[in-house]
Homo-oligomer: A and B are copies of this chain.
Amino acid sequence: MFYNEYSKEKLQEELEGLYKEYNKIKESGISLDMSRGKPGPDQLDLSMDMLDVFNSESDLKASNGFDCRNYGVLDGIPEAKKMMADIMECNPENVIIGGNASLNLMYDAISRAYTHGIMGETPWCKLDKVKWLCPVPGYDRHFGITEHFGIEMINIPLKEDGPDMDMIEELVSKDASIKGIWCVPKYENPTGLSYSDEVVKRMAALKPAAKDFRIFWDNAYAIHHLYDEEEKQDTILNIIDECKKAGNEDMVYEFASTSKVTFPGSGIAAIASSVANVDEIKKRMSVQTIGFDKMNQLRHVKYFKNAEGVKKHMAKHAAKLRPKFEAVLKMLDAELDGYGIATWTKPNGGYFISFDVMEGCAKKVVNMCKEAGMVLTGAGAPFPYGIDPKDSNIRIAPSYPSPEELIDASKILIVCTKIAAIEKLLETK
Q: A52-B56, A115-B111, A125-B125 are in contact. Are A68 and B290 (CB under 8 A)?
A: no
**Which B residues lie within 8 Å of A20 (CB)?**
none
Q: A56-B52, A145-B287 are in contact. Are A266 and B111 (CB under 8 A)?
A: no
Copy number in the complex reads 2
Most buried by B among A48, A70, A294: A70
Chain B residue at minimum C-beta to C-beta distance from A104: B289
Does chain B have a CB within 8 A of A428?
A: no
**Which B residues lie within 8 Å of A288 (CB)?**
103-104, 107-108, 145
Bound CA–CA A56/B54 (angstroms): 11
Q: Which of B49, B149, B289, B293 has a CB less than 8 Å from the CB of A103? A: B289
Does chain B have a CB within 8 A of A207?
A: no
Q: How far is the CB of A255 from chain B (nearest CB, A)?
A: 13
Segment touching B, from A38-46, A245-253, A360-368, A401-409: A38-46
**Which B residues lie within 8 Å of A47 (CB)?**
69
Does chain B have a CB within 8 A of A309?
A: no
**Which B residues lie within 8 Å of A264 (CB)?**
69-71, 290
**Which B residues lie within 8 Å of A69 (CB)?**
44, 47, 263-266
| Contact present for A68 and B266 (CB under 8 Å) | yes
* Contact pattern, A 319-357, Cβ under 8 Å of B = 1, otherwise 0: 000000000000000000000000000000000000000
Which 8 A-B pairs rank lowest in CB-CB distance, beginning with the nearest? A266-B295, A125-B125, A107-B288, A48-B56, A44-B69, A71-B264, A148-B287, A51-B54
